[in-house]
Amino acid sequence: MIRNYFKIAWRSLMRNKVFSLINVLGLAIGMTASFLIYQYVHTEFSYDGFHKNGKRIYRLATDIKLPAETIHEGASSSAMAFHLAQDFPQVEQFVRLSQISLLARIGDRKFQEPNTFFADSSLFAVFDFPLINGNPQTALQHPFSMVISQTAAKKYFGDEDPLGKTLYIMESAMPVQVTGVMADIPSNSSLKADIFLSFATCQQIFDPQVNDQWGNFGTASFLLLKEGVDPNQLQRQLPGFLRQRLPQEIQQTEMSFTLVLEPFEGIYLGSNRITNQGFESGNLNNVYIFSLVALFILLIACINFVNLTTARAAERGKEVGVRKVAGANRYQLVNQFLGEAVTVSLIAFAVAFVLIEITIPWFNQFVGKAAAFSFFSRPASLVVLVLLTLVIGLFAGSYPAFVLSSFKPTKVLKGRFAPGGNGIWLRKTLVITQFAVSVTLIAVTFIVYHQLSYMRNHDLGFNKTQTLVVETRFDSKQETFKSLLSSIPAVQSTTRSGNIPGGDNGRVYAELENQNGDMQTVTVDLYNVDENFIPQYDIKVVAGRAFSTAFTSDSTHSLVLNERAVQLLGYSNPADAIDRQFRLGNGRDGTIIGVVKDFHFRSLQAQITPMAIQLGQGNFSNYISIKIDTDNLPSTMEAIATKWQETIPNRPFNYFFADEFFDRQYRAEERFGQLFFQFALLTIFISCLGLLALVSYSTLQRKKEIGVRKVLGASVASIVKLLSLDFVKLVLIAIAIASPIAWWAMNKWLEDFAYHIDIQWWMFAVAGLAAVVIALLTVSGQAIRAAVANPVDSLRDE
C-alpha cells in the first residue's frame, strides 16, 4: 500500500513538472539555508564542550571596585589562583595562562608566534588537550620547556621527531626544549594556542615572585573543582580568603576586589567581562537571531509548499472526485497526498544535501570559522536531518491533504469546485507571514549596513590613513631601524609605541590628583609612546601640551590624559588638570602636562575610557608607525624591508596598515550583515514562489470573472490593476506587521554599540518599497497573462 502511494505520488509529480520543480526548489533552498545555519548554531554552542571535566572547570574572574567605577575583569592576578588552591581542598587542580607573542627561531628560520601561552604544569590535568608525545604530568614542569602543536612541530621540524629538540626564543635566543607534542587544539575551542611554555619559564625570565603578585591582572586562571563540590558554597568563602591573603598595602588602597567563579563552558557565549588573555568569544544574541532566521526560512519554505499545492486544488479536484466515486475513502486520500508531500520533501532533501556539500567551503569562509561540516563526517547529524525532513514533509503536506480529501465528488465532477473562504484567508495569511519575515530581514540588513557604514566613516579622533605599522616587539635595534627610515624619500614621519588604536591595551591603576586636590585611584589604558605619536596620529591637544624633546622631564615625570580621564577626576575644564600630580604603579610620578581630545582607541562598540599616555623608556615599543606617501607603494615597501633586514635580520618582517588593523574589529558585524543579506535574498525568493502560487490560484478562480469583465469592455490595464491590487494589500499588511518587529529587534542589537545610528522611519519605508516592487514584479506576469487571455475560452461552458 505504501509503495503504491509513493508510486502515485511520483506520477503526479511527473505530470506537473513545473509546479513540482518549483516545489522542490523552494523546499531545497529553504532546507539548505536552514541546515547550514543549524550547523553554525550547533558549532557555536559546542565551544569548549569537548573537555571531559568541563562542568567542573571554573574561571577565576575579578570585580575591581574603584571610587568612580567597577571593572569586571575576566582575569585575576597570578597569586590568587595559586594561593586559593593551597587554602581550599575543594580545588583539585588549577592552571594559569598568560599570553605572549613569541619570537621563535630554528636555524635561519624565524617566526612570530602570537598564540603562545605560559601555562602551569597542571594544564593537561585541567583541560583535554591530548599529548601525542611526552608526559602530560611533567611536560611543563621545568623551566625552559615547551609543548607544541602538531602543526607547529611540522613547521619547525618537518617529519623529524621534535621531542627533546631545541627552539630558540626571544631576541636573546634562549634555548627551550620541546618536551611534548599535542594534537592541534579543536576549532571549537575558545583557547587558540600553538605553543605552551612552562610557567616556571615565566618565573625565570620575567618575575621570580610571580606567585605573590596580587595587583597585576593579566592572567587567566582556571580551577578544577573536585567531584560534588558546590561552586556557590565555595564562592561564599572567597571574600574571607581575600581578607586573609591580600597584602595590607593593597587592602588600604581605594580598590576592593570580589572574586567570581564563572562556569568555563558558559564563558564563550555568556560572559561580558573584559578578556584580553587570548580567548575567543562569541555573541549569544547573534546565535539566537540566526536560530530564528533558520526557523523562519524553513517556515517560509513550508508555507510556500502549502500555497503551491493548494493552488492546484481545482486541477486535482476532479481526480479526488473520481477516486471517491471509485471507492477511495478520505483516509486513503490523506495518505496519498501526505505521501506526495513526503516524496517532495525527500527529493528536496537530496537536492539540499548536494547544495550543502558544495557550499560548505564558501559558508565556512564566509563566517570565518569551520562552522559547517560534511554530513559524511557526522552520520548522526545526517540521521537527525532525514527525520526532520520527514517531519517537514508531513507538516507541510497536512493542510493540503485534508483540504483536497474533503472535496465532494458530486460538486467537483460537475466543475463546481469552490473551496471555502477559510482556505482563501489561510493562504493569504501565509503569504502575509512570508512577506512579513522578508521585510523584517530586508530592514535588518539595511540597518546593519548603515551601522557598519557609520562605524567606518565616524570621526575617530585620530588619523589612520597612509600609515604602515611594523611589529618590533621590544627589539633592541628598533630605534636604529626607525632612524634609518628617514633616508627613504616616501617616509614622511615615524613614531614608536607600545600600543596602537584598535589593539589590546595594558590597563593600570593610577593615582591622579582630582579637582579637590586628593589623589584618586583610576583605571587607565596606558600608552607608551615617543614624542612623535600624538602629532603623527593627528590627535588634538585640548589643554596643555604634548611631549617634546625640549623638556627633559617629559621622559620620566610627565603624563598626558584624555578628556574622559579628567572628567572622571571632576574637572569641568581640561585646563584645570594641567600641572596636577600623578603616581603610577610602575613607580613613575610627576605632573600632568596635557589633555588630548577623546579618540576611539577601541571599536565603537565600547565607550571611550580613561587613558594615560607616557613617554616610553628603552626598547619599549611593539610597533613603529610609518606615515608614507603611497604613490609608489611597492618600491617604498621594498625599501623599508631592506632597512629591516639590515638592522633586525633575526626577526620576521611583519607589518600591516593602521586603517585595516582598526577596521578588523568589525569583521564579526560585517559577516553578520552579509549573512543577513544572503538569507534575506533567499527568503524573498522563496516568498515570491509562494506569491506566484497564490496569483496562479487567484487567476484560476477568477477566470470567468475576468472573461465577463473583458466582454463588458474592461481594458488589460484595469484587469492587471484589479488582480495586482489584492496582493499589494497583502504586502502592505506584511510591512505593517514587520516594521515594529524589526525596529524592536534592531534596537536591541544596537544596544551592543556605545556609538550607533538612530533608527529612522525611512529605513522601514525603503524596505517596504523594495518588498512592494518585488511583489509587483512577481504578480504582474501572471496578471498580464490572465488579462490578455481570450474570454471565449473562459466562458465557453456558460
Residue with cell 484587469: 719
Flag whether pLDDT at 63 surpasses 80: yes
- Beta-ladder partners of 119: 97, 198
**pLDDT value at 144 more than 90:** yes
Q: HSE, CB side, 13 Å, CA atoms: give it for residue 147.
A: 32
pLDDT (0 to 100) of residue 684: 83
Which H or E run includes 558?
A: strand 558-562
Rounded Cα distance, 521 and 610, in Å:
12
pLDDT of residue 318: 63
DSSP string, 321-354: HHHHHTT--HHHHHHHHHHHHHHHHHHHHHHHHH
Taking the C-alpha atoms of residue 724 and residue 776, their distance in angstroms, rounded to an integer, is: 7
40-54, 529-543, 781-795, range with the lowest pLDDT: 781-795
Q: Is 149 strand, coil or helix? A: strand
What the block records as the C-alpha cell of 621 is: 615599543
Distance CA 294, CA 33 (A): 7
**C-alpha dihedral sign at 121, 125, 131, 135:** positive
Residue 403 has pLDDT above 90, yes or no: no
CA distance 459 to 449: 18
Q: For residue 169, give the nearest of 209, 129, 198, 141 by alpha carbon.
A: 198
Q: What is the pLDDT of residues 537-591, one digit of tens each?
A: 999 999 999 999 888 888 889 999 999 999 999 999 999 999 999 998 777 889 9
Phi-psi category of residue 440: left, alpha or beta, with phi > 0 → left and psi -120 to 50 → alpha: alpha
Per-residue cell: 170: 626571544
pLDDT at residue 638 greater than cutoff 70: yes
Q: What is the mean pLDDT of residues 10-39?
A: 80
C-alpha cell at 795: 466562458
User: Which range is most confident: 23-37, 358-372, 569-583?
Assistant: 569-583
Cα 467 vs. chain centroid, distance in angstroms?
Answer: 27
pLDDT class of 476 with cuts at 50, 70, 90: confident
Phi and psi at residue 582, to the nearest 5°: -145, 155
State the pLDDT at residue 379.
Answer: 75
What does the pLDDT read at residue 782? 72
pLDDT tier at 252 (50, 70, 90 boundaries)? Answer: confident
Using one digit for the tens of pLDDT, what is the confidence trace for 100-140?
A: 888 898 988 889 898 999 999 999 999 999 999 999 999 99
Secondary structure (3-state) at 236: helix
Tell whether the model's pLDDT for residue 774 goes beyond 60.
yes
Largest pairwise CA distance in the chain: 107
> What are the pLDDT digits (tens) for 448-457?
889 988 988 8
Residue 252: CB partners within 8 Å, gap ≥ 6? none
Using 50, 70 and 90 to split pLDDT, how confident is the model at 80?
very high
- Nearest to residue 80, comparing CAs of 200, 222, 191? 222
Query: 3-class DSSP state for residue 273?
Result: coil
Cβ burial of 332 (10 Å; 0-12, 13-18, 19+) is middle
The pLDDT score that the predictor gives to residue 464 is 93
pLDDT higher than 70, residue 795: no
Q: Is 25 helix (H, G, I), strand (E, B) or coil?
A: helix
Strand positions, DSSP E, 26-136: 57-65, 70-73, 91-106, 109-119, 131-134
Mean pLDDT of the region 698-722: 74
Interval 735-751 mean pLDDT: 90
CA–CA separation, 194 vs 151, rounded Å? 8
For residues 72 and 598, what is the distance between their CA atoms, to the nearest angstrom?
23
pLDDT band at 669 (very low <50, low <70, confident <90, very high): confident
Q: Which residue has the higher pLDDT, 215 or 646?
A: 646
Angstrom CA distances, 656 to 112, 492, 663, stand at 14, 17, 12
Q: Name residues whose C-beta falls within 8 Å of residue 787's C-beta, 6 or more positions apart in sequence.
A: 706, 710, 716, 719, 720, 723
What pLDDT sits at residue 118? 95
Q: Who wins on pLDDT, 559 or 12?
A: 559
pLDDT digits (tens, 9 = 90+) for 148-189: 999 999 999 998 999 999 999 987 889 999 999 999 999 899
Average model confidence (pLDDT) across the chain: 85
Confirm if 469 and 662 have CB atoms less than 8 A apart.
Answer: no
Task: Report the distance separating Cα 538 and Cα 547, nearest Å.
Answer: 14
Among the ranges given (149-153, 267-271, 472-476, 606-610), the one the predictor scored with the smallest mean pLDDT = 472-476
Mean pLDDT, range 389-412, rounded to an integer: 72
Q: What is the pLDDT of residue 282?
A: 85
Locus of grid cell 537536492: 351
Distance of CA 197 to the CA centre of its chain: 30
Q: What is the dihedral of CA 441, 442, 443, 449, to 10 degrees?
A: 100
User: What's the pLDDT at 644?
Assistant: 93
Residue 260 has pLDDT above 80, yes or no: yes
Q: Which of 45, 118, 719 is nearest to 371 (CA)?
A: 45
Cβ proximity of 304 and 434 under 8 Å: yes
Q: What's the pLDDT at 752? A: 82
Position 411 confidence tier, pLDDT thresholds 50, 70, 90: low
d(CA 796, CA 13): 29
User: What is the reported pLDDT for 315?
Assistant: 61
- Please state, for a pLDDT cut of 90, what percent of the chain lies above it: 38
The reported pLDDT for the residue numbered 50 is 93
Q: Average pLDDT, stretch 324-333?
A: 69
Q: What is the pLDDT of residue 316?
A: 64
Rounded Cα–Cα distance for residues 103 and 345 (Å): 56
The whole-number pLDDT of residue 3 equals 66
Full-model pTM? 0.83
| Mean pLDDT, rounded, for 501-510 | 83
- What's the confidence (pLDDT) of residue 281? 86
Provide the pLDDT for residue 9: 64
Per the structure block, which three cell numbers stand in for 289?
537571531
Pairing of the two strands 256-263 and 145-149: unpaired
Asked if 764 contacts 735 with a C-beta cutoff of 8 angstroms, the reply is yes
Q: How confident is the model at residue 535 (pLDDT cuts 50, 70, 90)?
A: very high
pLDDT of 458 higher than 80: yes
Residue 767 burial (C-beta neighbours within 10 Å; 0-12, 13-18, 19+): buried
Q: Which three cell numbers stand for residue 328?
A: 477511495
| Residues in contact with 160: Cβ distance below 8 Å, sequence separation at least 6, in sequence order | none
Of 177, 91, 175, which is closest to residue 133 (Cα–Cα)? 177
Distance, CA of 256 to CA of 246 (rounded, Å) = 10
Mean pLDDT of 378-397: 79
How far apart CA 534 and CA 549 sit, in angstroms, is: 13
CA 785 to chain centre: 47
